[in-house]
Amino acid sequence: MDFKELLAYQKAFLLAMEIKKISDLFPKEEKFALTDQVRRSSRSVCANIAEAYRKRRYINHFISKLTDSDGENSETSVWLDFALECNYLSKEQHIDMVIKSEEIGRLINYMILNPTKFGCKL
């Protein structure tokens, strides 16, 4: 199996692309602040899942990279909160993306708690 087949990766990738599209509409003065931060953290969720999957030979490395991914996912949620408060997102857009982020977090945590189901050896 390839990391791209992991549900957590797929959902994180879709959310990162949704964030990219919506952040294209953020004001230009946010380009090097909020826009870059929310894009970077959302993309990092996917990258860390991919890296974790490649490190699954070593359970502690697998869990460590997934923990990084979970942290990036939480950071993305914070940036979405800022975008809402700055009126760059509608309440509906914010709720939708935060719900998706929470689901991704649950999937990542399932992987952390069940590493042997993803090819890790004890």
122 found inside a domain: no
Counted domains in the chain: 1
* Structural domain harbouring 98: 3-115
| pLDDT, tens only, 49-96 | 999 999 999 999 999 999 999 999 999 999 999 999 999 999 999 999
For the purposes of burial, counting CB atoms within 10 Å of the CB of 62, is it exposed (0-12), middle (13-18) or buried (19 or more)?
A: buried
121 domain-assigned: no
- Confidence (pTM): 0.95
> What is the domain-level CATH number for residue 78?
1.20.1440.60
